[in-house]
Structure 1
Amino acid sequence: MAKVTDKTEIRKAIAKYCEEKAISRKELSTQMGISNATISNIDNEKWDNIDEKMWQKIWNYVRPINTNALFQTKDYQTAINLCQNAKELHLMAGLIADTGMGKTTALRSFSRQENVFYIYYDANMRPNHFYHELGKQLGYDYDSTMYNMVNRACSVLNSLNDPLIIIDEAGKLTDPMLLSLHALRDKTQQNCGIVFGGMPYFKNNLIKKTNKQKVGISEFMRRIQIWNELEGLSKSEIEYICDANGITEKEDLKRFMYKKRFGDLTNEILLFKTLYR
């Protein structure tokens, strides 16, 4: 991370994040759950009373996402194109990929746009936690009944220009959460897109639950209009990423040729550089 002494870099990252997302500093502080005065003090270079943990938290939230090694791969473009189509056409879509394929990096990269809201779904989340987090992403901090929280989110989403909600780790979504998203979709489908990113079992489990006639699941799945699945790295993409990391010798390249998952490849490159360079 940027060291605490690199305060100017963090200040610039805040400005860039707010510019990319077209949000105010106040909206950023709401998203992060921190005082607006803290962001204001950073902007005005009043840094003496901001402790290291706060700098760390802010940097981890606004830091640039490095997609240099991913951006020319077919999988990355598949994920970005799916998000773009869902945003523009107000689709509900599923992006399926095994762990380490670069799905989360691509989704987080796309989320740095105006009116795109990214939520990493935690297995400990309940519907009220989800809508509280979504509310913070939308610029307000609101805790009420589920009915009121869903309706407020829908009201704000319907006031925006082509908003998109990205829900990562969608395989962890519980049945009550799926049913609440069903309601959210029905109330915003003319204006808002939703992308679910998950492991292959996300789709498979939905199919199983549909076949078992689980209440509401068939109706939810029917609303997902597009499914895309990432394929893994091609030989030429592996060579490109290795070359970008200074690995060009044929003998060295052999150890990387079967690493079709982006995460596996980058781990192997790091290991190679650590042990052999």
Structure 2
Amino acid sequence: MITEAQKTTIATELFRLAGNGKRKTEQFKFSQVELAVKLGVSNGTVSNMIAGKWQNIADSMWRKVQATLKIDLNWKTAETSNFRLLTELLRKAQETQLTAAISYDAGIGKSEAYKAYERNNDNVIYVECKNYWQTKSYIKALLNACGIKAEGTKEEMIEAFISHVMTLENPLIIIDQMDKLKEGAFDLFMDLYNDLFRCCGCSCLREKDYQRGEN
């Protein structure tokens, strides 16, 4: 069961991301509509969570929002030396529109640093890749991370993503666990890199021993 305190934590994070208005402002990362798309829930659900109208919101919906935003209700992030190093690398990549590839051993907190950076900085697009993704799944994840509804052909979705990123100030794309991508989705990265060169920073994370073409 989701407690009232946990609901308050989730609602507070929603307000931090989108405020209590329907339109995006410079103060917030998303509009409520964009945040609803990112979460895969209705705009009404987001609005009611923020407004404290919780009576008709099922625990399953709270869990979905918590999981999508990666809100940890029981743990706090420790700023280790690795965490601070990765945060600084991401900051430089975002400020200077550079691409940084990170490859290191599993279990040192790379993904946690990435997620924290996305939560705490504007115009950061974070996706965590899955083994089962095909190219279209990857494109949809990129759009959802931006709060854009994923619809149309692959080409239309790619163009929509590129057009959106070009409108952002100092955007940063974070591709976590990139080694899980299959051939087509992996190769799409180079197309995005070429189209967004010098107008977008990018950071890609993979496990240390990954080699392209391994099964």
TM range (shorter): 0.7 to 0.9
Structure 1 equivalent of residue 15 of structure 2: 15
Question: Where in structure 2 are the equivalents of 1:7-46 lying within 5 Å?
Answer: 7-18=7-18, 22-46=29-53
User: Is it true that 1:107 corresponds to 2:111 in the alignment?
Assistant: no
Specify which of 145, 161, 171 is matched with residue 153 of structure 1.
161
Matches for 1:190-209 after TM superposition, within 5 Å: 190-202=198-210, 205-206=211-212
CA spacing shift, 1:57–1:51, aligned 2, 3 Å:
same
Count, aligned residues:
202
Large movers: runs of 4+ above 4 Å:
none
Question: Which residue type is aligned with residue 83 of structure 2?
Answer: Y
**Which shows bigger deviation, 33-42 or 171-180?**
171-180
Task: State the match for 1:266 in structure 2.
Answer: none
Q: Which runs of 5+ in 2 are unaligned?
A: 20-26
1:263 alignment partner in structure 2: none
User: What TM-score do you get using the length of structure 1 for normalisation?
Assistant: 0.67
Task: Check the 8 A contact 2:178/2:186 in 1, yes or no.
Answer: no
Distance 1:126 1:104 in 2: 22
Deviations 1:56-106 (A, max 9, x none): 222334426832x2x141x22221122111111111111112111111111
After superposition, residues 1-277 of structure 1 pair within 5 angstroms as 3-6=2-5, 7-18=7-18, 22-62=29-69, 63=71, 66-67=76-77, 69=78, 71-73=79-81, 75-112=82-119, 113-202=121-210, 205-206=211-212
- Distance of 1:182 and 1:80 partners within structure 2: 24
The question of whether the paired residues in 2 share the 8 Å contact of 1:123 and 1:172 is answered with yes
Kindly indicate whether the alpha-carbon contact (under 8 Å) linking 1:79 and 1:95 is maintained by their aligned counterparts in 2.
no
RMSD (Å) for aligned C-alpha atoms: 2.1
Q: Distance in 1 between matches of 2:32 and 2:156?
A: 26
Identity %: 26
Match of 2:168, SS state, is coil
Relative to 1, partners in 2 of residues 1:133 and 1:21: Cα closer, same or farther, differing over 3 Å? Answer: farther
CA distance in 1 between partners of 2:209 and 2:43 (Å): 41
Q: Is 1:171–1:201's contact at 8 Å kept on the other side of the alignment? A: no
> Is the radius of gyration larger for structure 1 or structure 2?
1
- How far did 1:186 drift? 0.7
Cα offset, 1:128, TM superposition = 0.8
